Structure 1
Amino acid sequence: MPAPDAAQREAARQLDLRKQMREAEEAILARAPEHDLEPSLDRIAAVMDLAGQPQHAYPVIHVTGTNGKTSTARIIEKILRESGLNVGRFTSPHLHHLRERISLGGQPVSIERFLDAYADILPFVEMVDARSAADGGPRMTFFEVLVVVAYAAFADAPVDVAVVEVGMGGGWDATNVADGVVSVVTPVGLDHQHFLGDTLTEVATEKAGIIKPGAITVSAPQADEVIEVLRARAEEVGADLRLEGRDFGVLTRDVAVGGQQISVRSLAGDHTDLFLALHGAHQAGNTALAIAAVEAFLGGGEQPFNDDVLRSALANVTSPGRLEIVRRSPTVIVDAAHNPHGAVALRQALEEEFTFTRLVGVLAILKDKDAVGIMEALEPVLDHVVVSRSTSPRSMRPDELGQLAGEVFGEHRVTVVEALPDALDLAAELADEGGVAGGVLATGSVTTAADVRLLLGVESA
């Protein structure tokens, strides 16, 4: 039998890598999920010690908040990459596959790089698991392991800077073993109350834990009690707090085809007539925050940024699953809004930037979320809702969600459909009743947005 040629050998190698990746994913996913955790930095700190502290091999821009974290992180990453830097980005959750959470050079980490980093850190993870078990404690969680993989992959690349989004909270979040030279706080609201607390002060106190000594902190507009917490933390550790609305912010904003035209006052100067390829006033705010973060990182907030670099970055930035148009005729929009605060921003963007004659919602919401609050926020813009479930095991049962929806929208505006593909088909039919300007909005969770993207053949993220 003739020896396999180079192409055949490479195909066999890629097949083996995919098999190894599936096995690694299964092992990681078998750990406690990110919504089932024991708040502590002890386990991940022990692993990082054993691994040689890879998270200190590069500067970090650390992003926390309740809504807008992923979009803001992606905008920061895009601007830094346009500036010529090699950037690592860690965000969560993912839409379609684990590797999306770890980005190198603007792309999900390759299978080979992921496996190399995982192989490097796995012995240390197993050592810490064994120590924890001996003391009656838990194994490291799914999220903790992914954070270690990300920090190891960034050190190995190596990256010039890592943009890191917290998973939940801030102070005890696994990502907080890194020390951000710039910390970013997106709008803070109530979410994950069972971990973070029932008041804005409690939530903000946890999120302020990412503010480190000597850091520059940039914050979106916040409620007064949140500002007080951030100010107190900054004074405590000697950080420099810059606030949107006082030190930087959006000057002008106009709706444009495919996005919006904005002008921004940043920390070191004004940037005018920038086209942003994202919809919604909240994305304009995220952009002002991102520009401030980049200026804080590159010039301490004192050096004006190059407008040509900004124009190139913002015109090409993407945020999959966030007010994203994934189909035409009828227009189908997916959005990952999963709490009332995010749903309000979504509603406002729909009211300002779209002119649907009939908009039908496809709603699938996780059972531990404020479903009524989400639906009340969206009620003014939805003519009808089709209630279903996503592929998440945490998705609320359609009959239960349908009952709540009936109380918000009125039973005549609600249809319950068990299977999401059938729900999407029905919503498209109902939207067509509005003519060429009918539309469908699929929302309620990240999983809902991801499932609809897959159903419509959109898989890249």
Structure 2
Amino acid sequence: MQNQNPRLIEALSQLDQLTNWEQRPRGEMRVGLEPILDLSARLGNPHRAFRSIHVAGTKGKSSTCALLEAGLRHAGISVGRYASPHVEHISERVSVNGQPVEEAVLAGALFLGLDALRQARTEGTAAEAATWFDILTAAGFLIFRDAGVQWAVVETGLGGRLDSTNIVDSDVSIVTNIGLEHTEILGKTRAAIAFEKAGIIKPHTTVVTPLEADDEAGAVIARRAAEIDARLIRPDLSQASTIARRNAAVAGAALDVLGELGVRAREGKAVGGWLVDAEAERESQLPGRLERFTVPVPGRAAASNVAVALDGAHVPFNLEAVLDDLSGMEGFAGSGIAVVAIAADKDAAGLLEVMGRHGVSPIFTSVSDRFRSPAELQRLAGQIGLASDVIEDPQTAYEKALERAASSGAWVILTGSLYLVGLLRERVINEAVKS
């Protein structure tokens, strides 16, 4: 999806001159809150204008945030949601009352952030080192302040403790789960990564996590909560057999906490997990997260319908959960064909092992220099006996996957990267009838 507003095009052009760690190898990444704190101070500290729920985790944080947004909106509460990354359009990152920010509004906020950056460079203060994500985060908080939102649901970008979003003074924090990701920045173990994500917990508040105390990551979160006198709540996941049910349980537990804090819905009833209903779940469906379509593929005699899933799963336990859920859904029984791109900082071997266990044959493709080469991925697949193909162009790779699936009765998944999903999603939608 292309930006249409000329001012947004110009703002993003200036923004893209800054360091963007989402599009670069992260091995030399420097993280810290000093630049965003200085930047926000220059903008009037917009993050202090609303209350917030702060969400970190390896998997499920975007969907959990969307559920929280939908629930609060149904309660009649003005709510903003800050998310990352986007799949098709940058406006997906900032929504107000369930609607993506207007391009002109986003442009205006970005220009204010860029002006503050220029002032900092002139004066030599910390914000002179502000990154692409710092400016975007500050712009999002400006938009929330000016829109008068009462609550913001804020998703971390990377980690938590030193993430730009961690300037919010959240009432409730959520750590959805912990897997090995961004290990060159966050640490080599789940415990080390948990320490970074637990950094979003604020003293004397509440943290919600499904991670148990006997889990190495859960133990770190529990210890941090105890150190700063934060209450820890573990939602009941005994009936949560799918990703969607687990996300709903976590979001519901967080809304229960808000109700205990005195937050009321429009009719005076305390907000709570009751707000995470079927309507909220429908409204919170995000692009590139377990989306399912039926795509007709023309054949010699008639069209064959192929089930196609889109999910940007990029860590092994994430992909495992996605494939487990798909296996119980119509059209996704039996073998599958995956169109795959994997960033250089992800556990490619682990992802390929999951595909092998689930009978998924990968077609490796190329999307950017920050990703492993398809040839390298094919070598890794060969080492574990997983048959694969390389088709450099993503569009051609998708076409080939559809053709093979139509002829063999298989299904297709686009996975490994939300960036890859974003490149192909519009085409899938245009060609498909959504399941």
Q: Do these two structures clear the TM 0.5 threshold for a shared fold by scoring above it?
A: yes
Mark the CA change 1:148 to 1:316 in structure 2 (over 3 Å): closer, same or farther.
closer
- What is the correspondence of 1:35-46 to structure 2 with a 5 Å cutoff? 35=22, 36=26, 37-46=29-38
Alignment-derived partner of residue 289 in structure 2: 322
- What is the correspondence of 1:397-416 to structure 2 with a 5 Å cutoff? 397-410=373-386, 413-416=387-390
Following TM superposition, by how much is the alpha carbon of 1:368 offset from its aligned partner in structure 2, in angstroms?
Answer: 2.1
**CA deviation profile, 1:277-316 (whole Å, cap 9, x unmatched):** xxxx122111100111112123339957374772431243
Instruction: Tell me, yes or no, if structure 1 residue 289 matches structure 2 residue 255.
Output: no
- What is the correspondence of 1:133-212 to structure 2 with a 5 Å cutoff? 139-212=129-202
Task: Identify which of 224, 228, 251 aligns with 2:239.
Answer: 251
Task: Identify which of 360, 378, 381 aligns with 2:337.
Answer: 360
For residues 17 and 68 of structure 1, what CA distance do their matches in structure 2 show? 31
Instruction: Tell me, yes or no, if structure 1 residue 21 matches structure 2 residue 11.
Output: no
CA contact (8 A) 2:174 2:207 kept: yes
Mark the CA change 1:241 to 1:129 in structure 2 (over 3 Å): closer, same or farther.
farther
Following TM superposition, by how much is the alpha carbon of 1:382 offset from its aligned partner in structure 2, in angstroms?
Answer: 3.1
Instruction: Tell me, yes or no, if structure 1 residue 454 matches structure 2 residue 431.
Output: no
Task: Identify which of 222, 227, 249 aligns with 1:231.
Answer: 222
CA contact (8 A) 2:178 2:217 kept: yes
TM-score of the two chains, using structure 1 as the length reference: 0.83
**CA deviation profile, 1:32-79 (whole Å, cap 9, x unmatched):** 113443111011101111222110101010001111111111111111
Alignment-derived partner of residue 332 in structure 1: 308
- Note the residue ranges of structure 1 that are not aligned, 5 or more in a row: 1-14, 254-280
For residues 96 and 131 of structure 1, what CA distance do their matches in structure 2 show? 37
Matched residue SS, 1:198:
coil
Instruction: Tell me, yes or no, if structure 1 residue 430 matches structure 2 residue 404.
Output: yes
TM-score of the two chains, using structure 2 as the length reference: 0.87
Give identity over the alignment, percent: 32
For residues 230 and 297 of structure 1, what CA distance do their matches in structure 2 show? 20
Instruction: Tell me, yes or no, if structure 1 residue 71 matches structure 2 residue 63.
Output: yes
Mark the CA change 1:324 to 1:55 in structure 2 (over 3 Å): closer, same or farther.
same
Matched residue SS, 1:76:
helix
- Letter in structure 1 aligned against 2:315: N
RMSD across aligned C-alpha pairs, in angstroms?
2.4
- Letter in structure 2 aligned against 1:350: L
For residues 414 and 191 of structure 1, what CA distance do their matches in structure 2 show? 24
- Letter in structure 2 aligned against 1:447: Y
Matched residue SS, 1:190:
coil
Instruction: Tell me, yes or no, if structure 1 residue 305 matches structure 2 residue 272.
Output: yes
- Note the residue ranges of structure 2 that are not aligned, 5 or more in a row: 264-269, 296-304
For residues 143 and 96 of structure 1, what CA distance do their matches in structure 2 show? 17
- Letter in structure 2 aligned against 1:251: Q
Matched residue SS, 1:433:
helix
- RCO higher in structure (CA 8 A, sep ≥6): 2
Matched residue SS, 1:70:
helix
For residues 190 and 306 of structure 1, what CA distance do their matches in structure 2 show? 30
Mark the CA change 1:313 to 1:156 in structure 2 (over 3 Å): closer, same or farther.
same
Mark the CA change 1:409 to 1:451 in structure 2 (over 3 Å): closer, same or farther.
farther
Instruction: Tell me, yes or no, if structure 1 residue 445 matches structure 2 residue 417.
Output: yes
Following TM superposition, by how much is the alpha carbon of 1:83 offset from its aligned partner in structure 2, in angstroms?
Answer: 1.1
**CA deviation profile, 1:139-196 (whole Å, cap 9, x unmatched):** 3111111100001110000111000000111111100011110101111111111111
Equivalenced residue count is 408
Instruction: Tell me, yes or no, if structure 1 residue 55 matches structure 2 residue 47.
Output: yes
Instruction: Tell me, yes or no, if structure 1 residue 351 matches structure 2 residue 327.
Output: yes
